[in-house]
Structure formats: structure tokens, C-alpha cells
């Protein structure tokens, strides 16, 4: 009996240790994935082209737009660059994970050169906006609906608006596509966005940590939901939103993308029931399509928006 009692205590201790380790692992993943980084924006080693375009952007006469994140008191900020020649056409640009409007300088310049007004927000917990937790585009999608309405209020009911995003920003505009949008939103271009938050975190859990996605992600989703405002194991799907999309959309993805696997492009593309185009960019890694093929990128994206915003 004494031996059996000891074994029970050992078994209980092992269970307690396993639970503690598991809880610690979930806490680490939440902090790693969702908490705002303390070392500024992404792009630790930005390309020479990006640096050049950031310097260009810093010299432009831009305007600061503000709003509150939907359902919160978080203050959001955005950079607005009007076109050189007055126009009712505006592109709203969504940045990537750990990014900001500053990191989108190359795209802002590209659209400015094409004659568009450009609005480039900093998402929750990003850039100059407030907030502690990154929501991977899902809660941000509601904020972008508000940015759209702000463009219409300030630029007029005859506004013609395009949505554009790269990486997490690509997923964000795909998520926005499934919402009830004003008629002024005419077309969407996304570059290397993931099929869902769950799918992307599954990929990173395997690639970076060599761990199976379950049961880790389902429990992490439960622990994270009070902080990020949703359960990413049940919500946060670009695919589900694209099925509701009614606007023309152009999907871009590098053929060598191992951060957001290129296979996600097809899942997203297959979900679209509206007018759609896709471009698999040769010899291109994650979020580098513009930088590896700048002229072709500008031409293809410009042609697509021009077709629906003109």
C-alpha cells in the first residue's frame, strides 16, 4: 500500500509538471506571436530600395489620419499621401507582421507614381498606433472598414477605392473582402497572404520549433482569445471571407515562399467566386515580388487597379 501511495504521488507530480510546462509553452507562444515587439518595426535589414523609398517618403507632404480601433479605445494612426494631381482614386495599403506604414514606403511610392492618393494605416500594436496585441488581420479587418469610410467622408462619395496588402496585410485585405463594404471599394490586390491565422501559426510552429500543431494551437487559441479578442482556431480565415467576396481580386505569391507557403495561394484563389486573377512570381521568396520584379509588379498591379478604379 505504501509503495502504491508513493507511485500515486509521483504520477501526480509528473502530471503537475506536465501541466506547468504546457502552460508555460502556451504563454511563450502567446508572447512570441501576439505581443507587440519592443524593438520597433520589422525589416531589421531593409533592402537598399526600401531605404531609398523610406527617405523619399520622409520628404513628402503627408497627413496624419486617426481613428479608434473598433470596439476599443486604442488609437490608430495612418499616413495619408495625396496624389500630385487631385483625384477621387485612393489605394489603402495594409502592412505586414511587425510592420508599419513606414515599411510600406515602396508600395506607397509605386501607387503615388501611378496617380493615386494613398492611405497607409498602422494596425493595432504596430508602428505609431496603440495597442499591445497583434491580431493577425482578423480584428484589423474591422478597422480597415472604418478607414474606408473615413476616405469617403474626407474625399467624397464619388471616391473609388482599392485595397492592397502584403503578407499579413494581404491576409487583412482578404479578410476585409468578406465584410459588407461601401460601393466605393472597387477592387483588391493581395500579395502573399495566408489562408488563415491558424494555418500560418501551424506552419511556423512546425518550421521554427519542430512541434506538432495539436493540441498546442487549440489550447493556445483559448488562452490567447481574451487578449486578442477572438479564438484563432475558429475564426481568422481568409478563405472563409473570400467565399463572401464580391469584388475583383488579384492574388500574388512568390513560388519560393516558405514563410507563407505558396500552396496557400491556391486555397485562397479557389475560395474566390468573383472575378479573380493570380500571379505566381518566379524565383521569389516571401514578400519580395515587388523587389525581385519591380517593373512587372508595378505594371500588373497598376493595370488591375486601373481596370476597376477608372
Q: If you search the block for the grid coordinates 494612426, which residue do you land on?
A: 77
pLDDT at 194: 98
Q: Do 71 and 117 fall within a single domain?
A: yes
pLDDT at 61: 97
d(CA 180, CA 159): 17
Count of CB atoms within 10 A of residue 255's CB? 13
d(CA 190, CA 170): 4
- Answer whether residue 226 is part of any domain: yes
Q: Do 149 and 297 fall within a single domain?
A: yes
- Answer whether residue 206 is part of any domain: no
Q: Do 222 and 285 fall within a single domain?
A: no
Element (H, E) at 189: strand 185-191
Q: Do 125 and 4 fall within a single domain?
A: no
Q: Do 289 and 220 fall within a single domain?
A: no
- Answer whether residue 284 is part of any domain: yes
Domain end (from 205, 231, 257): 231
Q: Answer for the pair 308, 162: CB distance below 8 angstroms, yes or no.
A: yes
Q: Which of 161-170, 204-213, 217-226, 254-263 has the lowest mean pLDDT?
A: 204-213
Q: Do 73 and 142 fall within a single domain?
A: yes
d(CA 131, CA 134): 8
CA proximity to 223, closest of 23, 15, 36:
23
Count of CB atoms within 10 A of residue 49's CB? 14
pLDDT exceeds cutoff 70 at 204: yes
Q: Do 6 and 93 fall within a single domain?
A: no
Mean pLDDT, residues 252-256 = 98
Q: What is the CATH number of the domain that holds 259?
A: 3.40.50.1820
Whether the CA torsion 6, 12, 14, 17 is positive or negative: it is negative
Q: Do 160 and 145 fall within a single domain?
A: yes
Q: Do 224 and 127 fall within a single domain?
A: no
pLDDT at 22: 59
Q: Answer for the pair 136, 155: CB distance below 8 angstroms, yes or no.
A: no
d(CA 239, CA 221): 19
Number of domains in the chain: 2
Q: Do 166 and 270 fall within a single domain?
A: yes
Q: Do 226 and 247 fall within a single domain?
A: no
- Answer whether residue 41 is part of any domain: no
Task: Give the cell for residue 246.
Answer: 464580391
- Answer whether residue 39 is part of any domain: no
Mean pLDDT, residues 79-99 = 97
Q: Do 185 and 295 fall within a single domain?
A: yes
Summarised one tens digit per residue, pLDDT across range 11-57 is: 555 555 555 555 666 777 888 899 998 765 555 567 899 999 999 99
| pTM tops 0.75 | yes
- Answer whether residue 145 is part of any domain: yes
Averaged pLDDT score across all residues of the chain: 92
pLDDT at 2: 58
- Answer whether residue 222 is part of any domain: yes
Domain assignment of residue 55, given as a range? 46-196+236-309
- Answer whether residue 203 is part of any domain: no
Summarised one tens digit per residue, pLDDT across range 278-296 is: 999 999 999 999 999 999 9
pLDDT at 137: 98
Domain end (from 175, 204, 231): 231
Amino acid at each position: 500500500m505504501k509503495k502504491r501511495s508513493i507511485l500515486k504521488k509521483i504520477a501526480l507530480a509528473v502530471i503537475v509538471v506536465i501541466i506547468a510546462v504546457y502552460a508555460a509553452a502556451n504563454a511563450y507562444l502567446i508572447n512570441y506571436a501576439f505581443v507587440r515587439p519592443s524593438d520597433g518595426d520589422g525589416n531589421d535589414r531593409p533592402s537598399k530600395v526600401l531605404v531609398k523609398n523610406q527617405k523619399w517618403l520622409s520628404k513628402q507632404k503627408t497627413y496624419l489620419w486617426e481613428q479608434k480601433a473598433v470596439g476599443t479605445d486604442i488609437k490608430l494612426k495612418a499616413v495619408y499621401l495625396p496624389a500630385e494631381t487631385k483625384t477621387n482614386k485612393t489605394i489603402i495599403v495594409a502592412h505586414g507582421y511587425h510592420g508599419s506604414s513606414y515599411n510600406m514606403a515602396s508600395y506607397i511610392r509605386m501607387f503615388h507614381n501611378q496617380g493615386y492618393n494613398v492611405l497607409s494605416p498602422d494596425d493595432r500594436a504596430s508602428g505609431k498606433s496603440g495597442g499591445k496585441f497583434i491580431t493577425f488581420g482578423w480584428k484589423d479587418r474591422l478597422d480597415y472598414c472604418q478607414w474606408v469610410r473615413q476616405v469617403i467622408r474626407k474625399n467624397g462619395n464619388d471616391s473609388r477605392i482599392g485595397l492592397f496588402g502584403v503578407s499579413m496585410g494581404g491576409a487583412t485585405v482578404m479578410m476585409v473582402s468578406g465584410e459588407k463594404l461601401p460601393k466605393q471599394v472597387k477592387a483588391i490586390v493581395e500579395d502573399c497572404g495566408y489562408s488563415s491565422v491558424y494555418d500560418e501559426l501551424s506552419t511556423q510552429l512546425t518550421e521554427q520549433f519542430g512541434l506538432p500543431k495539436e493540441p498546442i494551437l487549440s489550447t493556445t487559441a483559448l488562452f490567447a482569445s481574451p487578449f486578442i479578442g477572438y479564438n484563432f482556431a475558429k475564426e481568422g480565415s481568409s478563405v472563409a471571407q473570400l467565399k463572401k467576396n464580391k469584388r475583383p481580386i488579384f492574388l500574388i505569391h512568390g513560388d519560393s515562399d516558405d514563410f507563407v507557403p505558396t500552396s496557400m495561394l491556391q486555397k485562397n484563389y479557389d475560395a474566390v467566386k468573383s472575378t479573380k486573377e493570380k500571379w505566381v512570381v518566379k524565383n521569389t521568396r516571401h514578400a519580395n515580388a515587388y523587389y525581385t520584379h519591380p517593373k512587372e509588379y508595378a505594371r500588373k498591379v497598376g493595370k488591375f487597379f486601373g481596370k476597376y478604379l477608372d
